[in-house]
Amino acid sequence: MEQKSLVTIADHSREKIEYLIQMAQEFECHPNRRLLEGKVVATLFFEPSTRTRLSFETAANRLGARVIGFADPKVTSGTKGETLKDTIMMVSNYADIIVMRHYLEGAARYASEIAPVPIVNAGDGANQHPSQTMLDLYSIYKTQGRLDDLDIFLVGDLKYGRTVHSMLTAMHHFNPTFHFIAPEELAMPEMYKKFCREHGIRYVEHTDFNAEVISGADILYMTRVQRERFTDLMEYERVKDRYLLKLDMLSKARPNMKILHPLPRVNEIEYSIDENPHAYYFEQAHNGLFARQALLCDALGITLEDVKNDKTIID
């Protein structure tokens, strides 16, 4: 079995992304198995993230693995000055795989270079969050029936939002058309627009956010406009409500359009939309379980074939 770390979705080809989606589908049919029985999964959260940690731990538990780890970095030796390397080497002695979230950028890449066991990046600062991207792609695939030739509208903080950057990188295999909807202060950075041009990806920029602008969307991907990103708080007050999705803005939406949001939501989507058939963000989070089951198995060298022929399903 070939073990391999997952640091960034940018390492994955189109074929690999489709392969992982197929694997996630298998897990969605039968999430409870004993496929990882006898394995120990370590979840090292050097930065708290309840949502991601619970999702990974549920994925491991439903596959029969045991889970060790910490959710609060204050309890680790990192506070005593231990290096990341020492922590990773120590935990590698105990666990078969390490899922880690770290506040420093590049921490997962470094850990994957030194650890004898596979590392799954559960977010490294503002850098990468590949399991979020994988569940986003799985959600897009599930709701649209394909990943190719879609109109994807990204809304909110496109400057700092790592989920939208990873989405852009991963979707470049699938001939998308992007629409970037953001205030000027939080517009898509030039390097990502350059990436689009270099890969022949069409994109349109908007600062307005209304029914007309979003009428052509297959996917409406909402992100949070965060107060702390603004140097001028007057400017924040001016723009914050401009990117609130209201129920009446869905009047011209395509029937297949789905609204995604990486959550937590604060003030981006009116609560009245939750019951609307276009809303998909809670199902999206649920899909994270199956996507993470696939990522854990893939990192441990378990193939799609193994999953299809699995005799350990618990019904």
Can you give the binding site for other proteins, defined by CB under 8 A? 83-85, 102-107, 109-110, 124-127, 191
Catalytic, out of 14, 51, 202, 238 = 51
Closest to other proteins by CB, 139 vs 169, is 169
Per the CB < 8 A criterion, the answer to whether 301 and 117 are in contact is no
Is residue 129 among the annotated active site residues? Answer: yes
Is residue 101 among the annotated active site residues? Answer: yes
Q: How far is the CB of 114 from other proteins (least distance, A)?
A: 9
Distance CA 105, CA 309 (A): 38
Q: Which of 153, 182, 118, 179 is nearest to 260 (CA)?
A: 153
* Coil, strand or helix at 24: helix
Distance CA 152, CA 154 (A): 6
Is residue 30 among the annotated active site residues? Answer: no
Closest to other proteins by CB, 121 vs 293, is 121
Catalytic, out of 129, 179, 278, 292 = 129
Closest to other proteins by CB, 100 vs 137, is 100
Q: How far is the CB of 89 from other proteins (least distance, A)?
A: 13
Is residue 80 among the annotated active site residues? Answer: yes
Is residue 51 among the annotated active site residues? Answer: yes
Type of residue at 75: V
Q: Which two tokens stand for residue 211?
A: 């029914």
Distance CA 283, CA 137 (A): 13
Q: How far is the CB of 121 from other proteins (least distance, A)?
A: 12
Catalytic, out of 33, 101, 102, 258 = 101
Radius of gyration from C-alpha coordinates of the chain: 20
Q: Indicate which residues carry an active-site annotation.
A: 51-52, 80, 101, 129
